[in-house]
Amino acid sequence: MQPMINPRHSLSVWTAGLILFASSTAIAGAPQHQERHFAVKHRPVVVLQNIVNGRIEVKSSKNSEVIVSSTATAEKVAVDVEQVGDRIDISASAMGSVSEPQELQADFQLTVPEQTELQLKTQTGLIYVEQVTGDMKLESVAGDVHLKEVSGYIIVKTTGGSLVCTLCSGKLEFTSISGNAQVSQPALTNVNLMTTSGNILYDGDFIRTGIYTMKSGRGLVEVRFSDNDSFDLNARTNLGTVDNQASDFLKPDTHTHHSVASRYAHSLFGTVGQGLAKVELSSYSGTIRILKRN
Amino acid sequence: MQCKDFESVLASEGFGLLPAEAREHLDACARCKEFLADIDSIVAVARTLPAEVAPPDRLWISLRAQLEAEGLIKEQVGTTEHASWWENLVVWFRPRSLATAGAALILAVTVAFLTHTRNRNVAEQAAPPTVAGNPQLAGSENTSAPEETHLTGSGKSSAPGPPPSRVKELKPSPSENASTTLSETELDVSNMQLAGGNGNAKVDASLRQNLRTLNEFIAECEQHLRKHPKDELAREYLNMAYQQKADLLAAMMESGRSEH
């Protein structure tokens, strides 16, 4: 004899199962937020390595603590934070084998003391740092790097991401393959920008005794200087052109004789003011444009 | 017979024909019946499982690429041949970070060395007696093309090259070596990526796109330098591109490692 099954009972069991399944799936895909606070005594060092997609935002505060706020794909991304003294190590990585790695994301918001050393590395998201004074090394594959009012020895390395640096001071090094570099209103004493196919725009003062080197393999290199600047200019391009739109302000170079560069037709040497800073611009096949700001 | 004895008989005799005494116990014992039913169901489920799956070919290609990148083997990447000695060895390289770090280090050192060597050659070319006396130190790229005639304005850079007969004896130039090393590594990285297969699409696309950009730029510079071997600016950009390519390939290896 077949046992009797109550259809109503069966339906409720199925419904409960479906609800459980749906909720577990939703939990697994939903972002998981966490915030942790770390007290620090002196200048902290914050190291963040994000090997999944995601954005990193760093802002400063007057408090002697580092706040790490993260939002990551639940149950698929592991976020680890560890403190040893004044050093905070943060990492985000995929948990186990993942069929859709591009869907994995971990976004970070860090609040740090003004004087903090940063070492940040991500894959695709934006790195944004504002009002932090301290040496920093920022690396990204495809994500852009935006810096605002930062100071120190700044190293930015990207594969395809671009740099936008506004009101930065100190020393800046930028290396990229296809990323652009835009430096606005800087107070930088030492600048080294290099990209293979990206463009470079430097819009700001050249500080006396500063050294400024900008190189682009194929892209445009454009500098906009002001009336008060004082620098020696050396601009060279192999296959491109030097577009000098500030010829009224550039005097022939009074310091050195560049026999090597003078071999090439597409070069320009000149001095603005007393020639106190040194500006070297070069491009393999791109244009070099020199402008004076109004 | 007790239940304990029945279990021993089952363990030793298997699920075939049970001795008469064991069958009698089974008929009378509900616990042992349940136990045997459990065992039967486990065996039934186990039989439905697929046989052991052989590792995919791409795995062997990936492992071979790693070993070649480390210099442990030096062969052309080919199709799968299982069960050779090195395939067993690669079990020790499961943490791919070891292989990746090794490969990246070798790559970086090679490029740095070659770039340094090239720079030294350029410096030594400025001293004619040394270059003439030691043709191996002179980069062939500076002598294989016709001498530039318009470069002697300052009178400092007109170092004579070695005689044509000696040019043929020169080793490949460091630039050529760097180019070759990078190309080989690029092949290995491609194989690794094929083997990995499930990377972060956006990151992989960016890395590949930038590799193409670099390759095009390198080709452009190399072509230009063949015509104008003493163009220092072009050579400077070529060396920078080599360095960037080495860094990029290391990043691609790292990206492949992170996927697993």
Taking an 8 Å cut-off on Cβ atoms, the answer to whether A178 and B201 are in contact is no
Pick from A197, A94, A181: nearest CA to A145 = A181
Q: Find out whether B188 and B69 touch, Cβ atoms under 8 Å.
A: yes
At A42 the pLDDT is: 87
Taking an 8 Å cut-off on Cβ atoms, the answer to whether A177 and B233 are in contact is no
Q: Are strands A65-73 and A77-84 parallel, antiparallel or unpaired?
A: unpaired
Taking an 8 Å cut-off on Cβ atoms, the answer to whether B206 and A93 are in contact is no
> B146-173: per-residue pLDDT in tens?
333 232 233 333 334 444 444 444 455 5
Closest chain B residue by Cα to residue A96: B260
Taking an 8 Å cut-off on Cβ atoms, the answer to whether B202 and A260 are in contact is no
Q: How many CB atoms lie within 10 A of CB B164?
A: 9
At B136 the pLDDT is: 35
Q: What pLDDT band is residue B105 in, cutting at 50, 70 and 90? A: low
Taking an 8 Å cut-off on Cβ atoms, the answer to whether A102 and B251 are in contact is no
Percentages of chain B per state (helix, strand, coil), in multiples of 5:
70, 0, 30
At B125 the pLDDT is: 47
How high is the ipTM of this complex? 0.79
Average predicted confidence (pLDDT) for chain B: 64
Query: Residue A156 to residues A164, A174, B172: CA-CA distances in angstroms?
Result: 11, 5, 35
Collapsing DSSP to helix, strand or coil, A130 comes out as: strand
At A202 the pLDDT is: 95
Q: What pLDDT band is residue A289 in, cutting at 50, 70 and 90? A: very high
Measured distance CA(A84)–CA(A191) in Å, rounded: 33
Question: Per-residue pLDDT averaged across A111-126, rounded?
Answer: 93
Residue A159: list chain B partners with CB under 8 A: 206-207, 210, 248, 251
Residue A175: list chain B partners with CB under 8 A: 244
Query: Residue A234 to residues A193, A281, B20: CA-CA distances in angstroms?
Result: 15, 6, 103
Query: Residue A259 to residues A268, A280, B126, B232: CA-CA distances in angstroms?
Result: 12, 15, 14, 12
DSSP code of A227? T
Question: B149 touching A, CB under 8 A?
Answer: no
At A8 the pLDDT is: 58
Considering only the beta carbons, identify the residue of B198, B203, B206 that sits closest to A99.
B198
Q: Find out whether A88 and B236 touch, Cβ atoms under 8 Å.
A: no
Q: Find out whether A276 and A207 touch, Cβ atoms under 8 Å.
A: no
pLDDT at A260 over 50: no
Tokens (6 digits) for A196: 């293979």
Considering only the beta carbons, identify the residue of B156, B198, B251 that sits closest to A159.
B251
Closest chain A residue by Cα to residue B232: A260
At B45 the pLDDT is: 75
Q: Are strands A267-272 and A231-237 parallel, antiparallel or unpaired?
A: antiparallel
Residue A293 — φ and ψ, nearest 5°?
Answer: -70, 150
As a whole number of Å, the end-to-end CA separation of chain B is 54
Distance from CA of B168 to the nearest CA of A (A): 29
> A29-58: per-residue pLDDT in tens?
567 889 999 999 989 999 999 888 889 999
Residue A38 — φ and ψ, nearest 5°?
Answer: -130, 120
Taking an 8 Å cut-off on Cβ atoms, the answer to whether B202 and A102 are in contact is yes
At B139 the pLDDT is: 35
Tokens (6 digits) for B257: 């490692």
Q: At what angle do helices B96-125 and B174-196 cross, to 10 degrees?
A: 160
Question: B214 touching A, CB under 8 A?
Answer: yes
Q: In this predicted structure, which of A74-88, A167-181, A193-207, B187-201 has the lowest mean pLDDT?
A: B187-201
Taking an 8 Å cut-off on Cβ atoms, the answer to whether B248 and A177 are in contact is yes
At B150 the pLDDT is: 31
Q: Find out whether B65 and B78 touch, Cβ atoms under 8 Å.
A: no
Considering only the beta carbons, identify the residue of B210, B231, B251 that sits closest to A238.
B231
Q: Find out whether A212 and A277 touch, Cβ atoms under 8 Å.
A: yes
Residue B237: list chain A partners with CB under 8 A: 215, 217, 238, 284
Taking an 8 Å cut-off on Cβ atoms, the answer to whether A259 and B154 are in contact is yes
Question: B206 touching A, CB under 8 A?
Answer: yes
pLDDT at A264 over 60: no
- Ranked by mean pLDDT, the top range of A130-144, A258-272, B26-40, B43-57 is A130-144
Q: Find out whether A220 and A289 touch, Cβ atoms under 8 Å.
A: yes
Question: Per-residue pLDDT averaged across A246-273, rounded?
Answer: 67
pLDDT at B127 over 50: no
Considering only the beta carbons, identify the residue of B221, B233, B259 that sits closest to A282.
B233
Taking an 8 Å cut-off on Cβ atoms, the answer to whether B217 and A284 are in contact is yes
Residue A284: list chain B partners with CB under 8 A: 217, 220-221, 233-234, 237
Taking an 8 Å cut-off on Cβ atoms, the answer to whether A259 and B150 are in contact is no
At B189 the pLDDT is: 66
Considering only the beta carbons, identify the residue of B202, B209, B258 that sits closest to A124.
B202
Distance from CA of B1 to the nearest CA of A (A): 35
Phi-psi region at B193: left, alpha or beta (left = phi > 0; alpha = psi -120 to 50): alpha
Taking an 8 Å cut-off on Cβ atoms, the answer to whether A142 and B206 are in contact is yes
At A263 the pLDDT is: 40
Question: B219 touching A, CB under 8 A?
Answer: no
Residue A233 — φ and ψ, nearest 5°?
Answer: -115, 135
Q: What pLDDT band is residue A74 in, cutting at 50, 70 and 90? A: confident
Question: Per-residue pLDDT averaged across B218-245, rounded?
Answer: 89
Question: B258 touching A, CB under 8 A?
Answer: yes
Measured distance CA(A65)–CA(B113) in Å, rounded: 44
Pick from A92, A33, A145: nearest CA to B200 = A92
pLDDT at B187 over 80: no
Measured distance CA(B254)–CA(B251) in Å, rounded: 5
Question: Per-residue pLDDT averaged across A9-25, rounded?
Answer: 54
Total-model pTM: 0.65
Of residues B53 and A86, more confidence is placed in A86
